[in-house]
Chains A and B, each alone.
Chain A
Amino acid sequence: MDRLDPQAGETERERFAALVTAHSRAMFRVARAILDDDADAEDAVGQAVLLAWQSFHRLRRPEAARAWLIKIAVNCAYEQRRKYGRLVPLDAVPEAAGAAEDPHPDSLWDAVRALPEEARAAVVLFYYEDMTVAEIAKALGIAQGTVKSRLNRARQRLKTMLEEE
Chain B
Amino acid sequence: MTEFDQRLRALARAEDSPLPQGFADRLEARLDDLPPRCGRGTRARAPLRAVLAVAVCAALVVSVGAAALLGAFDFMREQDAFALLGLTEEYEKFTYDVGVSDITARGDVFTLEKAAIDSAFCTVFYTYRYAEPQMSQAEFEALDAADPWTAFSAAPQLSLWLDGEEISLEGYDNSFEPQQYFSDPQTVRGMWRCLLTAPGTNGMELELRGWTWDQETRSEEAYSVDFPSQITTGAVVMTPQVTFPISCWGTSHTLDVTVESLKISPLGSLLTLRYDLTGDRGLGLLHSFVLRDGDTGKYIPFARVWTPEDNRCILDGQGVEHYELFGDVEELGRMENLEIVPIWSHKSISEKKTVSLSDLPSSDSGNPAGGYAPASYRVEGNRVIVELQPVGAVSAVEAAMANGVVFLDKDGNEVDLDGSEAKFKNRSTGVITVVTTVENPDFAQRIDQIAGFWFFVEDYYLLEDRAVSVPLPLHLEGW
- Which residues from B are CB-within-8-Å of A63? 169-172, 307-308
A21 contacts B38, CB within 8 Å? no
Main secondary structure of the interface of A (DSSP, over half): helix
B34 contacts A53, CB within 8 Å? yes
Among A50, A57, A61, contact of B158 (Cβ-Cβ < 8 Å)? A61
Main secondary structure of the interface of B (DSSP, over half): mixed
Given contacts A3-B41, A108-B11, contact A61 B34 (CB under 8 A): no
In the bound assembly, the distance between CA atoms of A1 and B40 in angstroms comes to 9
A107 contacts B4, CB within 8 Å? no
A50 contacts B315, CB within 8 Å? no
Q: Is A46 engaged at the interface, CB distance under 8 Å to the other chain?
A: yes
User: B220: nearest residue on chain A (CB-CB)?
Assistant: A58
A19 contacts B311, CB within 8 Å? yes
- Which residues from B are CB-within-8-Å of A53? 34-35, 37
User: B170: nearest residue on chain A (CB-CB)?
Assistant: A63
Q: Is B142 engaged at the interface, CB distance under 8 Å to the other chain?
A: no
In the bound assembly, the distance between CA atoms of A118 and B150 in angstroms comes to 24
Given contacts A13-B34, A29-B17, contact A1 B41 (CB under 8 A): yes
- Which residues from B are CB-within-8-Å of A28? 19, 23
Among A58, A60, A134, A152, contact of B152 (Cβ-Cβ < 8 Å)? A134
A60 contacts B41, CB within 8 Å? no
| Cβ contacts A1-18/B at 8 Å (1 or 0 each) | 111110110000101111
In the bound assembly, the distance between CA atoms of A107 and B5 in angstroms comes to 16
- Which residues from B are CB-within-8-Å of A22? 311, 314-315
B38 contacts A4, CB within 8 Å? yes
Between A29, A57, A63, the greatest number of chain B beta carbons within 10 A of the residue's beta carbon is seen for: A63
- Which residues from B are CB-within-8-Å of A107? 15
| Cβ contacts A135-148/B at 8 Å (1 or 0 each) | 10110010010001
A127 contacts B12, CB within 8 Å? yes
In the bound assembly, the distance between CA atoms of A25 and B17 in angstroms comes to 8
| Cβ contacts A104-122/B at 8 Å (1 or 0 each) | 0001110000000000000
B311 contacts A7, CB within 8 Å? no
Between B17, B39, B211, B421, the greatest number of chain A beta carbons within 10 A of the residue's beta carbon is seen for: B17
Interface residue count on the A side (C-beta < 8 Å):
62
- Which residues from B are CB-within-8-Å of A29? 17
Q: Which of A33-65 contact B (CB under 8 A)?
A: 38-39, 42, 45-46, 49-50, 53-58, 60-65
B37 contacts A56, CB within 8 Å? yes
| Cβ contacts B101-138/A at 8 Å (1 or 0 each) | 00000000000000000000000000000000000000
A130 contacts B402, CB within 8 Å? yes
B311 contacts A54, CB within 8 Å? no
- Which residues from B are CB-within-8-Å of A144? 420
User: B421: nearest residue on chain A (CB-CB)?
Assistant: A132
Q: Is B18 engaged at the interface, CB distance under 8 Å to the other chain?
A: yes
In the bound assembly, the distance between CA atoms of A151 and B31 in angstroms comes to 34
A54 contacts B157, CB within 8 Å? no
- Which residues from B are CB-within-8-Å of A8? 36-37, 40
Q: Is A90 engaged at the interface, CB distance under 8 Å to the other chain?
A: no
What's the interface size class on B, roughly? 35 or more
Given contacts A21-B27, A49-B31, A64-B157, contact A134 B149 (CB under 8 A): yes
Q: Is A153 engaged at the interface, CB distance under 8 Å to the other chain?
A: no
A3 contacts B39, CB within 8 Å? yes
Q: Is B312 engaged at the interface, CB distance under 8 Å to the other chain?
A: yes
Q: Is B26 engaged at the interface, CB distance under 8 Å to the other chain?
A: yes
Among A16, A20, A55, A134, contact of B27 (Cβ-Cβ < 8 Å)? A20
- Which residues from B are CB-within-8-Å of A159? 4
B20 contacts A158, CB within 8 Å? no
- Which residues from A are CB-within-8-Å of B2? 155
User: A141: nearest residue on chain B (CB-CB)?
Assistant: B215
B209 contacts A60, CB within 8 Å? yes
A158 contacts B8, CB within 8 Å? yes
B5 contacts A155, CB within 8 Å? yes
A54 contacts B39, CB within 8 Å? yes
Among B39, B153, B402, contact of A55 (Cβ-Cβ < 8 Å)? B39
- Which residues from A are CB-within-8-Å of B210? 60
- Which residues from A are CB-within-8-Å of B402? 130
B39 contacts A2, CB within 8 Å? yes
In the bound assembly, the distance between CA atoms of A9 and B38 in angstroms comes to 13
Q: Which of A78-136 contact B (CB under 8 A)?
A: 107-109, 126-128, 130, 132-135
In the bound assembly, the distance between CA atoms of A141 and B418 in angstroms comes to 20
In the bound assembly, the distance between CA atoms of A4 and B36 in angstroms comes to 7
Given contacts A53-B34, A134-B153, contact A62 B308 (CB under 8 A): yes
Q: How many whole Å from A13's CB to the nearest CB in chain B?
A: 6
B311 contacts A18, CB within 8 Å? yes
Given contacts A2-B41, A108-B12, A128-B12, contact A61 B36 (CB under 8 A): no
- Which residues from A are CB-within-8-Å of B9? 127, 130
Q: Is B347 engaged at the interface, CB distance under 8 Å to the other chain?
A: no
In the bound assembly, the distance between CA atoms of A90 and B414 in angstroms comes to 26
B26 contacts A3, CB within 8 Å? no
- Which residues from B are CB-within-8-Å of A57? 37, 39-40
Among B4, B27, B159, contact of A49 (Cβ-Cβ < 8 Å)? B27
- Which residues from B are CB-within-8-Å of A58? 211, 220
A132 contacts B420, CB within 8 Å? yes
In the bound assembly, the distance between CA atoms of A145 and B40 in angstroms comes to 37
Q: How many whole Å from B233's CB to the nearest CB in chain A?
A: 25
Q: Is B477 engaged at the interface, CB distance under 8 Å to the other chain?
A: no
Q: How many whole Å from A157's CB to the nearest CB in chain B?
A: 12
- Which residues from B are CB-within-8-Å of A54? 37-39
In the bound assembly, the distance between CA atoms of A130 and B421 in angstroms comes to 13
Interface residues of B (CB under 8 A from A): 2, 4-5, 8-9, 11-12, 15-20, 23-24, 26-28, 30-32, 34-41, 149, 152-153, 157-159, 166, 169-173, 209-211, 215, 220, 307-308, 311-312, 314-315, 402, 418, 420-421
Given contacts A49-B30, A134-B153, 4 further A-B contacts (CB under 8 A): A63-B170, A127-B9, A133-B149, A134-B152
